[in-house]
Amino acid sequence: MIKTCLLALACASLAACDNGFLTQQGYEPAQPIAFSHALHAGEMKMNCQYCHFGAAQSRHAGVPPANVCMGCHKNVKTGSPEIIKLTQAVAENRPIEWTRVHRLPDFVWFSHQNHVAAKVACQTCHGPVETMARVQQVNTMTMGWCLECHRSIAADPANAGKLNPPTDCSACHR
Amino acid sequence: MPHDEKKPWQSLAALRGDPAELARAEREFAEELPVGPGAIASGHAHGALVQLRSGGDVSRRGFFGLMGLSAAAVGIAACQRAPVAKVVPYLSEPDGIVPGVSNWYASACAGCDAQCGVLLKSRDGRPIKVEGNPEHPLSQGGVCAVGQASIVSLYDASRARAPLERGQPIGWDALDAKVLAGLEDARSKGKAIRVVAPLRTGPTFESTLAQFLAAWPGARVARFEPSGELTALADAHQAAFGARAVPSIHLDRARTLASFACDFLGSWVAPVAFARQYAKGRALPLIEREGGKLGQAEGAPPDFARRHWQLEPALSLTGASADRRHPLAPSELVPALGGLVRRLALRSMHPDRAAIANALPRASEPRELAAPLDALAAELSASGAQALVLCGASDLTAQALCVAANQLLGAYGTTIDIASGASLPAADLPLAQLFTELEAGQVGAVIFLGTNPVYAHPDGEKLAELLARAPLSISTADRLDETARDVALLAPDHAPAESWGDSEARRGLTTLRQPALMPLFETRAAVESLSAWSAGKKHTQHELLCARAEAELYPRALHKEPRFDLFWTRALHDGFVETEETPLPASFSVAQLGSLFALPLATPSDTELWLHSSVALRDGRWSNNAWLQELPDPLTKTVWDNAACIAPARATALGLDDGDLITVTANGRSITLPVLVQPGTHPATLAIAIGYGRTAAGNIGNGVGVNAFPLLSGRGPARNFIEARLVKSGGQKPLARSQTQASLEGRPHIRTATLAAWSADPGASNPEEEKLDSLWSGHEYPGHRWGMAIDLGSCTGCSACVISCQAENNIPAVGRDEVSRGREMHWLRLDRYFAGEPDSPEVLHQPMLCQHCTNAPCETVCPVLATVHSSEGLNQQVYNRCVGTRYCANNCPPKVRRFNWFEYRHDDPVERLALNPDVVVRSRGVMEKCSMCVQRIQEGKALARRDGRPLADGEIQTACQQSCPSQAITFGDLNDPNSRVAKLTRDARAYRLLHELNIGPVISYLTRIKNTGA
Amino acid sequence: MSGHTYSALRHPLVDPPRSLSQITDEIAAPMERAPSASFWAALGAAVALLALGAGMVTYEVATGIGTWGLNKTVGWAFDITNFVFWVGIGHAGTLISAILFLFRQKWRTSINRSAEAMTLFAVMCAALFPLIHMGRPWLAFWVFPYPNSRGSLWVNFRSPLLWDVFAISTYFTISLVFWFIGLIPDLATLRDRAAEGSLRRKIFALLAMGWNGSGRTWHRYETVYLLLAGLATPLVLSVHTIVSMDFATSLLPGWHATIFPPYFVAGAVFSGFAMVLTLMIIARKVLGLEHMITVRHLENMTKVIIVTGGIVGLAYGTEFFTAWYSGNPYERFTFINRAFGPYAWAYWTMISCNVLSPQLFWFRKIRTSPWAIFVVTIFINIGMWFERFVIVVTSLHRDFLPSSWSMYRPTVVEVGTLIGSFGLFFTLFLLFTRVLPMISIGEVKSVLTFARQPAGSASHAVPAAAAPVLEEGAA
Amino acid sequence: MSPVSQRRFAAQFASEEPLLAATREARERGFSIDDVFTPYAVHGLDEAMGLAPSRLPWVCFGAGLTGLVSMLSFEIWTSAVSWRLNVGGKPFDSLPAFIPVAFEFTVLCAGLGSVAALLLRTKLWPGRAPAVLPGTTNDKFTLVVHARAESDETLRALFEHHGALACGPLQPDAPAPAAPPAIATVAP
């Protein structure tokens, strides 16, 4: 009996998670280096894929290697305390441990490449990153949320023949 | 369960792990951001491993695994926010590596001596899959099970991680100092320096070895080959032609093929290449059938004279494919071959026929073989130069008789060729002599170059003791194996995938090996060690290889390039170099050959031991490989063990049954092992697979099965059979078998016909499917409709597909106990049935995998929609939705669904590197099954989409299809009427499993056609 | 006129005659006197078994289904066998309380209460197994269609397993309600017996919900009781029909058979009545209710057993005939394998227990001797468990492809879980006999005069009746 | 209520037969039956009291129908509209397969619906504790009729003829149905 009650409790709370009451939405962790997308992508209008070059060719957009940052910061704002953290890391040959913001469950297969190829704007999923001093997860990123987009695009006659985002399970779960 | 400690694959072991390990074990998905490779690329091998642990505890399954303990825990745990995860990018990204994108490196397989060309799929800097190199002239894209499984051996946790002195870590410099001192000491004391090298290495290796010998005058090399098959082959040809080489063989040209105990499809010399040739030679034209009407034949008509005879003591993979098969006792091999040669000599016009006939051994063949040999001789001489006689016994006389037979037939030059053979190093020092020298204490230093005679030599135990008498003893094994345990210094070699190298597949064809990852451990290539121990400057393996390539390959390469670096880049990309070579000087001398006929013959007895390599373990080199240990033997279906195969008649006579323990005694040595009643075994034969019973293979291979080598005659493994005594020792050791039912019960799951019947009616024994009525109208599949065709005529049952599937889809090995409970996890299995006479049965193989039924019975019964159909006709299994009722598996007619009975471990930081990041690792309690490599399908489609081109037929290959040596599997789009698979599906031979149930499989099997009959 | 028929041919249902208040006293007695040592012994044993089962289930859930003897070919064995077995047991309860009610079988009155209780407890045991047989039971709630963040991913209404979910939960709910409605008047009786202001009285008052025996309430109450009986009857048939469809709608030879629904329903009634008898025979002895659960009740039930047993036997035969007549080689093999294969022992156990042993009931002597009946019913319980085992396992272990044939051997964990389910069942049943009237007081009173000459005048009818009135009035 | 209807006269019996007879005769004589309190469901009492058949079956039917329709449409919506999944090649709307669940849900709704209606209509719910006539839940049968004071004697004669154990008027202000003091005082 008690087991059943516990089970019921468990189910109830799991059900709650199911309903997306508890997602990572709004997650906005501090980063080892206070890198500002608002500054780089916003004010300076740098292309997302200049740093996240993986997005076009791989499932991972990837966090840029330190040497990409150093490309500019060898001579730009070398004095700033944040940049100094970076230069030190490079000097010590120590990789920088960024805190991951967007993280799909392990059983979900997602490909940035496919979405970039389909000309989906980064903001569609990641929100207005160019306005964020510190990156935040703006969307729920639940399965339903993904499907919403896939379905609406597939349903739009304008995309017929050009785009047909799959709604097959094996598109993401394999 | 005794195996637990030894095998992490033992399901329950997962529970025994400490909590931290458990938590790590729960990782559902091996994908790492490029931390590891990054670290590897920047040279921090260990950093990589440390990093790889991180994230183990952040997966969702982290708490799901522990959840079982209390339902409440679930409730609370599941609603926590995901724990903090780190992303660790490269400091500076290495060239050509994009996180998440696979790179392919052409290299050479080191599974056996065949050295097939392979492509290593490397993801984020770690190889995760071995595939055949389609451009390689010999293997042509196939890889055997052993080659596939080598990826596990690469990440074998039992590998030595640093140079060792008597088990204690010692730096490389210190080791080199000791070695050089020891060698110097030996020279000064005038003691012998001895090297024990494998029989077949590579040119670079040989030249480096030569340098070493030059540096240490008086140093000599003994060659050691556990199975001894190449030795016998080469020796026979040396005697006959004066050229010590492995002849190149062209099965596709052989119309009549007589194989005496030669398992060329399973383990002999180069199985993959042979399987490809064999299938090519027997390929049937494609004839479509529609409503009883036959279409135009597509492809060359079959050669009705083409027939394969197999005479062998015990059923082999090759025997299973033969058109005609006759069991014979091992001791009858030579007499039978002699009888054949005599018959051929009568028919032959060969100048030396008389000389040969006179030299033949006196022993006459057994009476019951007279008739078959007459027929065989007739067919052989009818085919003349297009005939071929092969012998798999590592027996010099037998091999010599083969040479004679082929010579009489004039086969040399067509089906078999010594001039383009791969030459082997001249026999320098017999291993037996090393024993005596050691005994006499004359040896100052002995170096074992990747050889393991303590295990694989009949007198290994003796050698182990003798080694103590050598002041300096070194092994370059990759682990503390039986030999390495008893030597002073271990200079661990790289894994093949970490090293450079070359090998001569045949004269004029050099296969190149290039590394696909930085060494995981502080190991060093054997050649580097050799060069370090030679006088003068030490070279890296790369330097050594390039030097040789520039000196010898570049000038004679068929593909001319203006500069060496261009040539070299191309060569590495291709994975092989073809060069113009003068044929091997080979002139036939009957005298030399005749002398071999005179060797003493094996005495017939009522129990004759026949030692053979198993398809999976071969000579035991890779025994510490769970995939190979758990690969069901294609013929006995046993796993994790070797048994003594005995004829049914003999078994009943002795009152023996499967699993009864017997003691086999030969040469005064005994082993005890379970018997297995195996049809097709000659009554006098006791067939035992070598490669088992390792004691220092590692945490997996130790103590699996028994070591049969000690039974061999003290003269070294020049013969792989010997008379023995058999005693029922009482007691039982139940065998773990993936299939226990041997008969098809007259069910039509496998359809066979003779070539004659087929030529009369291509649909022979395969009536056309009648259209079945259905309540439902069914669904439309616009766009792609994936399907598969499996040609049972080509399938040899070699099981390469099984391991390929396992590697591609992160399928766990579960261990002996679980398999014996009927819980092996293979998504693709090979069904094996026997038909006909038990003394020489017909063997039927059938690859069985998810049939992706159009009206899938499994889907209807799943309460939570965890398995449904995709818009492209695939039967999808969604692991993360599955609640594990197992109803789908119950309702699955071919029973191809696999359930995760426990949490299977994937937590070893090294072993985990082999996981494929594109496929989820399934958690406990969920169902899994063949997905038709949907990840490959998606990848192929994405590539085509990115290039804005339509998907080409054959562009997407499933893992099983890719590695199939005989190309029996075809995958493609059924909606494209011109696709290969669509055509095969319409072939008159095509049928679908259990069609009458109206489940509508998308996999078609093609009737197996054999050229039995007169 | 009131609907009683007085016939000399009929036997009184309550024998020897009792006064209304005596009946109240006797039925309430077990709840009011302190439990006997034998009760404690029985309860102790039951709880011990329950604990064993709980341990086994915990281990299995924590470790994995691998702790059971299942394999790639035999995906179900003890789990589903036990499930079907317990559901079957449950059905007799509903049958007795609902169907016999519809048929106005007055003899049901003294057994329906405990039969219904048995139904509830049996269904609890049954429901346990589909839950724990899941590989990931903590996700069991996924079988319910609720809106979720998966877009929304619903459930597969085509799956018989899902039908089970609805069937079993509905069955349990309706049985519970039916049982409780039947209890209300008795709860009121107990309330009024309990001492003023005692906790006991408070509890019963709460449960009785202010029942005051008003004729108007009785009128509507009877209507609803009839309605529930009318609903429960098709329900009980549908439940086991659906359970049988778990097998019938699959395509496995030995499962895929159209006779399964009636075959299973008959089997359920068969096993259920056997279990009722087993329990009743013990209960009437232990609680001294022989005069209300008379030999006649037992005899009637044995007759039901003969009939249903016959149907089951016929079904066994029909299965073989169909297999042979269909000419389907797989079907044929399955049934030959059933009778002569490695599990033949299970098959013949089933035949001898289910087909042969009930034939003893043709003899009046056996029919009317409680202990003989007891022994036979035990055999039937065993036989019916084996019937399900045979259906589940022998069909699975050798199906279409000989390559996947295998054998199934149960593990300690499975056996322990089965025993544990009995522990759960008996624990609940024993507690029930202590806290609630295991015979419906109201209903037995209503059949008090059954097959008896009616009282000429009230005062004679119940001579002792006047005195208590005064007392009560004064009270 | 009129004062007339408020005044009630009760009679207690020891078994169902006299009760039924008395009830029937009282009604024939034109007395209006307030209520009858019995330990068990006395057959024919409703007819004797002249109660109209209950309308609860209609509630049952309505609830069942609602259940059936709602579940069927839910099944069809989820499988054929909300998310069309190809399950085993069966049509999205596999109506035959939807019947079992729909049936079960029908029964569930019908059952719970009618029980809920019963409890509400008869004011049965936890916490209700109306006064109960002594012995009603054990072995006493009490008939309560509306009566003017002048008809008391007629009634007393009628009930005693039928073998009432005791009878007498209930206090007008007594919470109906409460034990009439008369019953306690009157000797048999």
Model pLDDT for residues D3-22, shown as the tens digit of each residue: 445 678 889 888 888 899 99
D80 DSSP assignment: I
C33 CB neighbour count, 10 Å cutoff: 8
CA pair distance B428, B420, nearest whole angstrom = 23
Which of D158, D176, B731 lies closest to D167 in space, CA to CA?
Answer: D158
CA pair distance C60, C63, nearest whole angstrom = 5
Tokens 């001596």 correspond to: B113
Nearest CA in chain C to B13: C63
User: Which B residues in the span 748-777 are in contact with D, Cβ-Cβ below 8 Å?
Assistant: 776-777
Q: Do B747 and C402 touch (CB under 8 A)?
A: yes
pLDDT, position A14: 54
Q: Does C145 touch chain D (CB under 8 A)?
A: yes
Q: What are the residues facing B504 on neighbouring strands?
A: B510
Question: Which residue type is seen at B381?
Answer: S
Q: Is B493 helix (H, G, I), strand (E, B) or coil?
A: coil
Residues D116 and D143 in one domain: no
Residues D77 and D91 in one domain: yes
Q: Which chains touch A (3 or more CB pairs under 8 A)?
A: B, C
Chain B nearest C-alpha distance from A138 (Å): 15
Indicate if the alpha-carbon torsion angle C150, C153, C155, C156 is positive or negative. negative
| DSSP-derived pairing of the beta strands B576-578 and B990-992 | unpaired
User: Which C residues in the span 163-202 are in contact with D, Cβ-Cβ below 8 Å?
Assistant: 163, 166-167, 170, 173-174, 177-178, 181, 184-185, 188-189, 191-193
- Select from B31, B74, B942 the Cβ nearest to the Cβ of A14: B74
| Residue C441 contacts residue C1 (beta carbons within 8 Å) | no
Phi, psi angle pair for B522, to nearest 5°: -80, 65
Phi, psi angle pair for C312, to nearest 5°: -60, -45
Does residue D38 lie within any of the structural domains?
Answer: yes
How many Cβ pairs within 8 Å bridge chains A and C? 46
Chain B nearest C-alpha distance from C155 (Å): 5
Q: Is D1 exposed, middle or buried (0-12, 13-18, 19+ CB in 10 A)?
A: exposed
Which whole-number Å values give the CA distances from A155 to A149, B439, B941, in the listed order?
Answer: 10, 84, 21
CB contacts of A20 in chain C (<8 Å) are 148-149
CA pair distance B660, B863, nearest whole angstrom = 45
Q: b/e per residue, B640-678, with b = 16+ CB within 10 A?
A: bbbbbbbbbebbeebebebbbbbebbbbebebbbbbbbb
Q: Do C64 and B925 touch (CB under 8 A)?
A: yes
- Select from C54, C146, C153 the Cβ nearest to the Cβ of A15: C146
**Boundary-marking domain end, from D89, D122, D155:** D122
Q: Do C227 and D136 touch (CB under 8 A)?
A: no
Q: Does B857 touch chain D (CB under 8 A)?
A: yes
Radius of gyration for the alpha carbons in chain D, expressed in angstroms and rounded: 25
| Residue B855 contacts residue B999 (beta carbons within 8 Å) | yes
Does residue D179 lie within any of the structural domains?
Answer: no
Residues D60 and D47 in one domain: no
Q: Does A64 touch chain C (CB under 8 A)?
A: no
- Select from C54, C140, C148 the Cβ nearest to the Cβ of A18: C148
- Select from C188, C242, C465 the Cβ nearest to the Cβ of D137: C188
Q: What does the block give as tokens for B684? A: 């006098």
CB contacts of C137 in chain A (<8 Å) are 7
- Select from C58, C141, C153 the Cβ nearest to the Cβ of A14: C141
Mean pLDDT by 10 residues, chain A (174 residues): 51 54 81 92 92 90 90 88 91 90 90 91 93 92 92 88 88 91
CA pair distance B854, B780, nearest whole angstrom = 11
Provide ipTM, 2 decimals.
Answer: 0.90
Q: Does B879 touch chain A (CB under 8 A)?
A: yes
Q: Do B857 and D85 touch (CB under 8 A)?
A: no
Element holding C27 (H helix, E strand): helix C20-32
Q: Is B303 exposed, middle or buried (0-12, 13-18, 19+ CB in 10 A)?
A: middle
Q: Do C142 and B885 touch (CB under 8 A)?
A: no
Question: Which residue type is seen at D177?
Answer: P
Range of the domain at D72: 56-122
Q: Is B716 helix (H, G, I), strand (E, B) or coil?
A: coil
Residues D49 and D61 in one domain: no
Q: Is B648 helix (H, G, I), strand (E, B) or coil?
A: helix
Phi, psi angle pair for A94, to nearest 5°: -115, 115
Helix, strand, coil shares of chain A, percent, nearest 5, are 50, 0, 50
Mean pLDDT computed over D113-119: 95
CB contacts of D144 in chain C (<8 Å) are none
- Select from B855, B870, B871 the Cβ nearest to the Cβ of D89: B855
Q: Does D84 touch chain C (CB under 8 A)?
A: no
Q: What is the pTM of this model?
A: 0.90
pLDDT, position B125: 86
CA pair distance B949, A138, nearest whole angstrom = 36
Categorize the per-residue pLDDT at C51 as very low, low, confident or very high, splitting at 50, 70 and 90. Answer: very high
Q: Do C72 and B891 touch (CB under 8 A)?
A: no
Residues D49 and D64 in one domain: no
Q: Is C165 exposed, middle or buried (0-12, 13-18, 19+ CB in 10 A)?
A: buried
Q: Do C150 and A18 touch (CB under 8 A)?
A: yes
How many Cβ pairs within 8 Å bridge chains B and D? 36
Residues D116 and D141 in one domain: no
Does residue D45 lie within any of the structural domains?
Answer: yes
Residues D113 and D161 in one domain: no
Which residues are CB-neighbours of B209 under 8 A, at least 6 positions away?
B195, B197, B201, B221, B449, B530
CB contacts of C251 in chain B (<8 Å) are 857, 891, 893, 997, 999
Does residue D65 lie within any of the structural domains?
Answer: yes
Residues D117 and D60 in one domain: yes
pLDDT in tens, C268-305: 989 988 988 998 888 888 777 787 788 888 898 899 99
- Select from D17, D39, D98 the Cβ nearest to the Cβ of C445: D39
Please list the ranges in chain B whose pLDDT falls under 70: 1-82, 713-720, 1014
CB contacts of B878 in chain A (<8 Å) are 169-170, 173
Residues D15 and D71 in one domain: no
Angle between helices C160-193 and C215-248 (to 10 degrees): 150
Question: Domain of D160: which CATH number?
Answer: 3.30.70
Q: What does the block give as tokens for C293? A: 């659960």
pLDDT, position A3: 46
| Residue B117 contacts residue B577 (beta carbons within 8 Å) | no
| Residue B971 contacts residue B961 (beta carbons within 8 Å) | yes
CB contacts of C57 in chain A (<8 Å) are 3
pLDDT, position C196: 84
B772 DSSP assignment: P
- Select from D85, D87, D91 the Cβ nearest to the Cβ of B777: D91
Tokens 């509507």 correspond to: C220
User: Which B residues in the span 957-976 are in contact with C, Cβ-Cβ below 8 Å?
Assistant: none
Chain B nearest C-alpha distance from D92 (Å): 9
Q: Does C235 touch chain D (CB under 8 A)?
A: yes
CA pair distance B705, B419, nearest whole angstrom = 41
Q: Do B749 and C61 touch (CB under 8 A)?
A: no
Nearest CA in chain C to B745: C402
Q: Does C150 touch chain A (CB under 8 A)?
A: yes
CB contacts of C135 in chain B (<8 Å) are 882-886, 899-900, 924-927
Chain C nearest C-alpha distance from D172 (Å): 19
Domain count, chain D: 2
CB contacts of D87 in chain B (<8 Å) are 859-860, 862, 865, 868-869
Chain C nearest C-alpha distance from B769 (Å): 17
Q: Is B593 exposed, middle or buried (0-12, 13-18, 19+ CB in 10 A)?
A: buried
Residues D98 and D146 in one domain: no
Does residue D3 lie within any of the structural domains?
Answer: no
pLDDT, position B840: 86
Q: Do B924 and C136 touch (CB under 8 A)?
A: yes
Does residue D175 lie within any of the structural domains?
Answer: no
CA pair distance D108, C206, nearest whole angstrom = 25
| Chain B interface test: which of D75, D90, D98 (most B C-beta within 10 Å) | D90
Q: Does B864 touch chain C (CB under 8 A)?
A: yes
Question: Which residue type is seen at C432?
Answer: F
Chain D nearest C-alpha distance from C381 (Å): 28
Does residue D103 lie within any of the structural domains?
Answer: yes
Q: Does B871 touch chain D (CB under 8 A)?
A: yes
Residues D47 and D140 in one domain: yes
CA pair distance C121, C426, nearest whole angstrom = 9
Q: Does B744 touch chain C (CB under 8 A)?
A: yes
Residues D46 and D78 in one domain: no
Does residue D180 lie within any of the structural domains?
Answer: no
C354 DSSP assignment: I
